[in-house]
Structure 1
Amino acid sequence: MSSHTVLHDPHGLIEAQLPLDRTPYETLVATVLAWTSPTLTACDYEQIALQLTGHARALAADVARRAAALPKNDGRGALADVILRETNRRLSVPAVGTAQCVQNRARLIRALYARLDRLTDSL
């Protein structure tokens, strides 16, 4: 007999109710963007890129949910669509073990948080 329960949530309703843990990722983004001449191994860069990629996907889903809840004539939804298209384009490129890749993912997260903040400012 299994001791775990399988969760079926195809519409992401449970995920929508859970807030993102923003602080550690903002700290990581600030650290990565402050690098001037990092000397990490390719494996370290790949691990950081994976962390940032996963968070960017979760953040993009949150931005998309919030934008979808806006009235159709709200310009913030159109701007969210622009950043979401750019997110999809940038995340379609596989992550590589370089500082440049990691910093590009960090910039993407920073842009997504800026858009999320604009979507939630007046809600």
Structure 2
Amino acid sequence: MSGTHAVLHDPQGLMDDELPLDRAPHEALVTAVLAWKAPDLAPCDYEQIALQLTGHAHAVAADVRRHAAALPKSDGRGALAEVVLREAEGRLAAPLKGTAQCAQNRAHLVRALYTRLDRLTESAQGAP
């Protein structure tokens, strides 16, 4: 149907397991947002960027959670991932604002989550 769209409603996050992260464009957005010195965007533009980064942060956090859960209890990376995930939950619970600072905070969060994800997966990538 032309002119219509479907809205995905997945409150249990069931689709997270099946959809790969689209990392490159989000990392490019993070880099651009963190490079801002004195941006002059409309509040709705800042809010839209922050919303995009928030959605991606949720997806990366779900990946971090899955990888951490697969680790043995004795692996310290899992405990550190839990700390990062708790901090992420707190930061994601903050309301979005139409400001550069809000968008940059979300960009920092996405970067931190990717750093943790990379540390969780680096030993698995080196395995035969």
* Aligned position for 2:52: 51
Q: CA deviation at 1:55?
A: 0.4
* Aligned position for 2:7: none
* Aligned position for 2:111: 110
Aligned to 1:56, what secondary structure does the other structure show?
helix
Paired positions, count: 118
Q: Normalising to structure 1: TM-score of the pair?
A: 0.89
* Aligned position for 2:89: 88
Q: State how far apart, in whole Å, the 2-side matches of 1:68 and 1:107 are.
A: 24
Q: In the alignment, residue 39 of structure 2 is paired with which amino acid?
A: P
Q: State how far apart, in whole Å, the 2-side matches of 1:39 and 1:11 are.
A: 35
Q: State how far apart, in whole Å, the 2-side matches of 1:109 and 1:15 are.
A: 16
Q: Is it true that 1:23 corresponds to 2:24 in the alignment? A: yes
Q: State how far apart, in whole Å, the 2-side matches of 1:114 and 1:85 are.
A: 15
Q: CA deviation at 1:18?
A: 2.7
Q: Normalising to structure 2: TM-score of the pair?
A: 0.85
Q: Is it true that 1:119 corresponds to 2:106 in the alignment? A: no
Q: In the alignment, residue 27 of structure 1 is paired with which amino acid?
A: A
Q: State how far apart, in whole Å, the 2-side matches of 1:74 and 1:48 are.
A: 35
Distance 1:20 1:37, change over 3 A: same
Q: Which runs of 5+ in 2 are unaligned?
A: 1-9
Q: Answer yes or no: is the 8 Å Cα contact 2:16–2:62 preserved in 1.
A: no
* Aligned position for 2:78: 77
Identity of aligned residues (%): 67
* Aligned position for 2:5: none
Q: In the alignment, residue 102 of structure 1 is paired with which amino acid?
A: A
* Aligned position for 1:36: 37
